[in-house]
Amino acid sequence: MLSHEVKQSDALLNLRSYVGRFAPSPTGPLHFGSLLTAVASYCDAKANRGKWLVRIEDTDIPRIYPDSKNHILSCIDAFQFEPDAEIIFQKDHLGLYEHVLEQLKNANAIYACQCTRKILGSNHIYAGTCRDLNLDFAEQAIRLKVADQLICFDDRLQGQQCSNLKHDLGDFALKRRDGIISYQLAVVVDDYLQNITHVVRGADLLDNTARQIWLGSLLNYPNLNYMHLPLAMNDQGQKLSKQNLAQALDIHRAPELLQQAILALGQPFVELDQPRVMLQQVVQQWDVDLIPKGIHLTATFL
């Protein structure tokens, strides 16, 4: 099905019109790190005369934080981002994900897994314990088979990235035992459904990319172009995240926070103004080569 090395090519990408996206999860309010991703994904799309879409990734129902969706939508409005299509919610696509799982089942690319966290212990590489047991799919986790081969892609900021999923991770879950669809499956399917060509997101998701390329290749989905941004860090050396209680974006300080994000991304200074005007100026002078390289930003943020 695939060659010994799975490597993405930019040739076909260059023939497709740019479609980017911002895809936050409502497991907490948006913070400054989220704003960096929103600004970079928006400006990169608009600078390339492309479309910018917004998707709320809300399949992990137990982790959804009250009012997070409202905060996300309020931030989109307050920072005056202008999506080029209606905002979609992944919870509305659960039937589509099940359909894709059925496709993969028919192709013998997935299997049911009864392993619990207690059984797996601290092992981060799945040993394929259930791969050949032919368990019934009902009320079990579902894992995707991986192969012993190299998956490579050229990240626009981080350079070439390669991973052998069999050695680095093992077969990975597409659906949990409790029925929750995994991030890996939902993001690949929705990027395909929305005709996404370019993904701009935080470097904390860099190690997810090989999994998504592998799944996309099995489904014969088009290749994507990736750019993983350096992460905003707090004064304790932790990435800004909901888990680390990063401050929620204050929509009443939108111009000031937008200016900080623009500078953190290494872009030329933009005077305080209406966010829409500021974004227009950033788009006009957007330069990916100015974005700091590496996984982390050196400055600290709240």
Which residues make beta-bridge pairs with 158? none
DSSP designation for 151: E
235 CB burial (10 A radius; 0-12, 13-18, 19+): exposed
Q: What proportion of the chain, given as a percentage, has pLDDT over 70?
A: 91
Which whole-number Å values give the CA distances from 26 to 30, 116, 176, in the listed order? 8, 26, 19
Say if residues 39 and 9 touch (Cβ distance below 8 Å): no
Average pLDDT, the chain: 91
Average pLDDT rounded to a whole number, residues 254-277: 97
> What pLDDT is stored for residue 123 in this prediction?
72
Say if residues 120 and 145 touch (Cβ distance below 8 Å): no
Q: How confident is the model at residue 242 (pLDDT cuts 50, 70, 90)?
A: low
Bridge-based pairing state of the strands 5-7 and 150-155: parallel
Model pLDDT for residues 65-114, shown as the tens digit of each residue: 888 999 999 999 999 999 999 999 999 999 999 999 999 999 999 999 99
130 is annotated as contributing to ligand binding: yes
176 is annotated as contributing to ligand binding: no
152 is annotated as contributing to ligand binding: no
Domains in the chain: ranges and CATH: 18-300 (3.40.50.620)
Identity at 40, one-letter amino acid code: A
126 is annotated as contributing to ligand binding: yes
242 is annotated as contributing to ligand binding: yes
47 is annotated as contributing to ligand binding: no
162 is annotated as contributing to ligand binding: no
